[in-house]
Amino acid sequence: MIDLKDQIDLSKLPRHVAVIMDGNGRWAAQQGKERVFGHQNGVTSVRETAEAAAELGIEYLTLYAFSTENWNRPADEVEALMSLLVTTIHNEMDTLTKNNIRLNAIGDLNSLKPKTLAELQSAIDQTKHHSRMVMTLALSYSSRWEITHAMQCIARKVKNGEIAVENIDNQTISNHLATAGMPDPELLIRTSGEYRISNYLLWQIAYAELHFTTTLWPDFRRQNFYEALIDFQHRERRFGKTSQQIKTELSKT
Ligand code: IPE
Ligand code: IPE
Ligand code: MG
């Protein structure tokens, strides 16, 4: 079997990859099972993706695990997702340690149940010295929630005289988002053949390359991740310039 890993140029890796893990429910339905069976099987995909990313040398992996809008799902599914989160964090501590991965979370975490939040916080604390990769779970997260929150914070600082209105720039806004301190994702992957962003990292993905695959999340494996990276490496990232300018710049380096 060809290993797609060999086709990856390690000198041109994205520093930050974001993933919208979608299609668990449909995967379960295909096997005549309940939706939660799909969520349970998605855990293997998270482990494979995290290990593959850490081994390659990707610094930040940010996974959309539960959106603000997902609270509107049937109560039993929400409950099942939250308990799966607790058991998974608990069971995967070894994986995080073995791979030197630091766990992080972004989102409206105070809306989680105290038990869920405590388990999450304990795993974050236990992995805080791990240095190979930061794996961020977006939980009870939505970009509009995050931006609204950032705006409130900036407005408060303006009111207190800590920030002058005319000094608010791109960086000020980035610094007040939940992802403050992280580089913007250069690559965003969405599985399951849905071609939308669903309120994810809207500010941060301004110039990300988007990779869509019809693979359902529970079927996503290392090779699918490598495929996304190869696709990314074939893109010409122009940032508003012309293709000619980019080629000239590249020939000088
Ligand atoms: C993604 O799979 C997981 C979450 C959103 C929590 P879905 O549960 O959205 O699966 P589909 O899209 O219904 O197949
Ligand atoms: C987005 O998936 C959220 C997560 C992957 C956690 P959804 O399945 O909830 O997205 P929509 O609602 O179909 O856009
Ligand atoms: Mg979905």
Is the CB of residue 253 less than 8 Å from the CB of residue 28?
no
Local confidence band at 253 (pLDDT 50, 70, 90 cut-offs): confident
Taking the model in full, what pTM does it have?
Answer: 0.98
Local confidence band at 214 (pLDDT 50, 70, 90 cut-offs): very high
Residue 61: name the closest of 150, 187, 209, 228 by CA.
Answer: 187
DSSP 141: E
- The 3-state DSSP class for residue 209 equals strand
Nearest bound ligand to the CA of residue 62:
2
DSSP 174: H
Q: Which residues are catalytic?
A: 22, 70
Residue 175: is its pLDDT beyond 80?
yes
Pairing type for strands 133-141 and 60-67 reads parallel
In the predicted model, what is the mean pLDDT of residues 20-26?
Answer: 98
Looking from the CA of 137 toward its CB, the CA atoms found within 13 Å total 23
Extended beta strands in 14-150, E state? 16-20, 60-67, 101-106, 133-141
Instruction: Give residue-wise pLDDT tens across range 182-207.
Output: 999 999 999 999 999 999 999 999 99
Please name the fold of domain 4-251.
Undecaprenyl pyrophosphate synthetase (3.40.1180)
Residue 116: is its pLDDT beyond 90?
yes
State the average pLDDT for the chain.
97
Query: Taking the CB of residue 56, how many other CB atoms lie within 10 A of it?
Result: 18
DSSP 59: S
Distance 249 CA to ligand 2 centre (A): 39
Local confidence band at 84 (pLDDT 50, 70, 90 cut-offs): very high
Percent of the chain past pLDDT 90, that is, above it, reads 99
Local confidence band at 172 (pLDDT 50, 70, 90 cut-offs): very high
User: Does residue 157 line the site of ligand 1, with CB under 6 A?
Assistant: no
Distance 112 CA to ligand 1 centre (A): 19
Nearest bound ligand to the CA of residue 38:
1
Extended beta strands in 80-186, E state? 101-106, 133-141
Q: Check residue 1 and give its pLDDT.
A: 73
* Ligand 2 interacting residues, C-beta cut-off 6 A: 20-22, 64-67, 69-70, 194, 196, 198
Looking from the CA of 36 toward its CB, the CA atoms found within 13 Å total 13
